[in-house]
Amino acid sequence: MTRAELTLLGLLVERPRHGYELDEVITARGMREWTEIGFSSIYYLLGRLRDRGLITEVASAGTGRAKARKVFGPTPEGRRVCAEEAEAAVAELRPVFPPVLVGLASQPLIPPERLREALAARAAALDDRLGAVRRAADAQSDAPAFVRAIFDFSLHQLAAEQQWLTEYRATLEGDA
């Protein structure tokens, strides 16, 4: 199961939703900071989950002239698979492949001034991302503890990178 599928399945285990509502929750919780689910892929992923018997249409939402939206919820098998996959995702330490490491591996090829500029750009982008995640977390202050834990984890990761970046830039300045 892909991370995107598990993310959507988990949101449907919380409660049945239609595609637009899934997009709203993903946006409100800042989930696009850590998962690659675009609006255009939600219905594709819902179809895959449905075809695998993990979700089913439980209702249609819409009134009057509004097009009815299919509301999906988990099947018993979907709940079981979601719990199993979520537990594995929490327990397993999986490698990540941040592009910054690829760039650092080729750092000797980057002229020193260009490297400083690139690191300054990364620092600015990191500050922006921290601010965006903090704003999203503040907007979800009444969210359940597990949602707050996601924000907290993301903020700690960003803060750790910010600290590393500050120290690394100082080391480079010392070498200059």
Higher pLDDT, 25 or 68: 25
- Return the HEC string of the chain: CCHHHHHHHHHHHHCCEEHHHHHHHHHHCCHHHCCCCCHHHHHHHHHHHHHCCCEEEEEEECCCCCCCEEEEEECHHHHHHHHHHHHHHHHCCCCCCCHHHHHHHCHHHCCHHHHHHHHHHHHHHHHHHHHHHHHHHHHCCCCCHHHHHHHHHHHHHHHHHHHHHHHHHHHHHHHC
Quick: pLDDT tens for 92-138. Answer: 998 888 999 999 999 999 999 999 999 999 999 999 999 999 998 99
pLDDT classification of 9: cutoffs 50, 70, 90: very high
Mean pLDDT for all residues in the chain: 92
Share of the chain above pLDDT 90, in %: 78
What values do phi and psi take at 58, rounded to 5?
-110, -15
Q: Which of 68, 120, 89, 69 is nearest to 9 (CA)?
A: 89
What pLDDT is attached to residue 175? 76
Tokens of 143: 């969210």
For the chain, what are the domain ranges?
3-91, 99-175
Q: Which residues contact 151 (CB under 8 A, 6 or more apart)?
A: 29, 30, 133, 136, 137, 140
What pLDDT is attached to residue 96? 84
Cα 17 from Cα 6, distance rounded (Å) = 15
What pLDDT is attached to residue 94? 87
> Residue 90 in contact with residue 150, Cβ under 8 Å?
no
What pLDDT is attached to residue 34? 83
What pLDDT is attached to residue 65? 55
The average pLDDT across 35-39 equals 89
Quick: pLDDT tens for 55-82. Answer: 999 987 655 555 668 999 999 999 999 9
What pLDDT is attached to residue 138? 93
What pLDDT is attached to residue 77? 98
Cα 31 from Cα 136, distance rounded (Å) = 10
What pLDDT is attached to residue 2? 93
Which residue in the block uniquely carries the two structure tokens 């080729």?
106
pLDDT classification of 140: cutoffs 50, 70, 90: confident
Specify the CATH architecture of the domain 3-91: Orthogonal Bundle (1.10)
What pLDDT is attached to residue 153? 94
